[in-house]
Structure 1
Amino acid sequence: MALKGAIIRAGLAGSDLIRAHAWARFARGRGVILTFHHVRPAPSEGFAPNRLLEITPDFLETVLETLDALGFEIVPLDAVPDRLAGPEPERPFAVLTFDDGYRDNRDFAAPILARRGAPWTLFVTRDFAEGRGRFWWRELEEAVRRAPRVRFAELDLPAGTDREKERAFEALYWRLRAGPEHALREATRRLAEAAGVDVAGAARDACLTFPELRDLARDPAVTLGAHTLSHPMLAKGDEATARREIVESRAALEAEIGAPVRHFAYPVGDPGSAGQREFALAREAGFVTAVTTRPGHLFAAHAARLHALPRVSVNGLYQSAGALRALLSGLPFLVWNKGRRVASG
């Protein structure tokens, strides 16, 4: 991971050095959907493998300032279909989306966004809002944090120092991600409980409840979207389960907030978690848009792929204006997608 991070950091620095944001308009497209998770004060230094999922409130301010400086117009997710199907806009647009329904989004992000009049979308997982979801990635982090050694199957890994913990986490994370989801969840539960982690309390402490979400939904700048019932990697399960997770999550959220839910986000959202089957299910369920985490900007051709929209993750490991300018240029994603504006698959 350290080498991969260094390569990404060098690539972003190079894109910013050549001022790609100023001249690579062919790569920028019509706009971009940005992905956030946690927004809260920086964690203490040391072992924090999920740090990529959080940015500080100060950096959210930097994001908004940079969007403004580069001429982006912040629009609600509802505006995206028309922005893609209509004539070429004078200004690129940006959409701000926040996944999972974390309480810190309300406490730290919402006041900043309100001061700037910025609309935003919060994708809600039903089980998290009900305080009974499973944050398996956090369970794994806490299990490794508390253990001097990590033992799983044939693995017996030292975990005494932060560096050893990082290596142990990476080894376990990618091994478990490669297998069935039920096995992943069972393994992280067992590891966490053996380390004394309160598995049941994670969602209860981290996420907004439905009463809190109803209060938030009264703000006209806020759009609530569905993010499944239990946050599974949908493509790993059977079709009936995927359909239920998509369809019933919309119904549950609409029943709680008393308003239509038009947008959906695929959990994890990479090609191993959401593909053509899931895109078709989201369309059949009646969502206007559905967003992935496949990296990329938006082009006119995405008007025909509204249920497979790419997003750009604002990664907590790269909290600098230079890295952000590189991402907003679109050039890194055009390179990543081998020159294709619309990714295949």
Structure 2
Amino acid sequence: MAEVAALVDSKKFLISSGFSLFRLTGLHRLAIPVTRGLGVILMFHRVRPAEKRDFAPNRLLEITPEFFDAVLTRLTALGFAIVGLDEALARLQRGWPEGTQTRAPFAVLTFDDGTRDTKDFALPILEAHRAPFTTYVTTGFADRSARLWWVELEEAIRRLEKIDVEIDDEIIVLPARTATEKAAAFDALYRRLIAGPEERLLAVIGRLAATAGVVSAALVDDLCLDWAGIESLGRHPLCTVGVHTLTHARLAKYGEAVVRHELAESRRVIEAHIGKPARHLAYPVGDPSSAGRREFKIAEELGFASAVTTRPGMIFPQHRAHPTALPRLSINGNWQSLDMVEILLSGAPFALWNFGRKVV
């Protein structure tokens, strides 16, 4: 566990140091012809007004409506064409027209989980910019049968003054009286649980939530659109509805039969509700421990036109051969700075982080 913590802290340090270097030198602008590629797929989760909360470990998944609007404005100012996923895939297949001198990159806007915020706060801004977007729907959130376990964990720790849980026959006791102690407890439990089987993660958080009086279905009902909301959003001319599995399962943690069922059945359910094909997929969590080559192959075999990860990176011609393993650039609460967004959109930080590899 200490090794994992050190790795995460080192990554944060490297990212912060990289931002400082690019901001001071402007080297990212010089790197654009090599590092920006054909375009980018942006990842958002929650867009909602800021709330003052001392303990908010999931705040990294949130940005304010004002910042979201500013990001779209900056995209246009930087010469990005905001397009839908289908158009982006067409551009990926075409590449740059021969003899083109000015290469206008594309940007795709994607939202995970099917939250109410997407409709309540993001949609009016998207309409103002006439910006197409994709929302990836977890069917279990729409019908209230799946769990927002990361929100459960936050809410349980918020209510408790001491954490007392058993993980693999080990009793873990952590103080949780102050915001600092709560943040440390969340970090310790999250890192311990995310590294193991999903069944264990769900069981431990479920017991902790029950102790704190947290009702899982009530959290989902408060945060996520129901089927009526999904269907309404799906009728919007700017919206493409994609697939985000039945239960928000970290697919690599399960056997192949479960993976195929999570993908195929969730697509069937979504298509029945929206009355049109759901051609695009987002892997839940989407890091290497949650989706890998097996999942990419299964998504391809099931006929998905695209599938996105949370691996950071830009879209390059090399991705034509890997449409079910596409990277995304996360716009999140940790980096609500337009200068940082502009640096990220250059692709330079990812070229360094991925050691020059375009497909990761």
Instruction: State the TM-score bracket (shorter-chain normalisation).
Output: over 0.9
254-263 vs 212-221, greater mean Cα deviation: 212-221
Q: Which letter maps to 2:81?
A: E
Displacement of 1:65:
1.4
Displacement of 1:217:
1.4
Cα distance between partner residues in 2 of 1:7 and 1:290: 28
RMSD: 1.4
- The 5 A counterparts of 1:78-117 are 78-88=86-96, 90-117=103-130
Pair 1:28-2:36 in alignment: yes
Corresponding position of 1:67: 75
Displacement of 1:17:
2.9
- The 5 A counterparts of 1:248-287 are 248-287=265-304
Corresponding position of 2:66: 58
- The 5 A counterparts of 1:129-278 are 129-153=142-166, 154-278=171-295
Corresponding position of 2:335: 318
Cα distance between partner residues in 1 of 2:205 and 2:358: 37
Corresponding position of 1:15: 22
Displacement of 1:21:
4.6
Cα distance between partner residues in 2 of 1:130 and 1:188: 21
Number of matched residues? Answer: 343
Change (3 A) 1:272 1:138: same
Pair 1:292-2:292 in alignment: no
Cα distance between partner residues in 1 of 2:36 and 2:247: 34
Unaligned runs of 5+ in 1: none
Cα distance between partner residues in 1 of 2:235 and 2:212: 41
Q: TM-score, with normalisation over the residues of structure 2?
A: 0.92
What is the DSSP-based 3-state SS (H/G/I as helix, E as strand, rest coil) of the residue aligned with 2:110?
Answer: strand
Displacement of 1:124:
0.2
Q: TM-score, with normalisation over the residues of structure 1?
A: 0.96
Pair 1:76-2:84 in alignment: yes
What is the DSSP-based 3-state SS (H/G/I as helix, E as strand, rest coil) of the residue aligned with 1:171?
Answer: helix
Cα distance between partner residues in 2 of 1:138 and 1:5: 22
CA shift digits 1:36-77 (9 cap, x unpaired): 000001121311000000100011011111111211110101
- The answer to whether the Cα contact below 8 Å between 2:235 and 2:274 also exists between their aligned partners in 1 is no
Q: Which letter maps to 1:50?
A: N
Q: Which letter maps to 1:62?
A: A
- The 5 A counterparts of 1:34-49 are 34-49=42-57
CA shift digits 1:138-182 (9 cap, x unpaired): 111111111111112332111111111111100000101111101
Displacement of 1:132:
2.3
- The answer to whether the Cα contact below 8 Å between 1:13 and 1:326 also exists between their aligned partners in 2 is no
Displacement of 1:6:
5.2
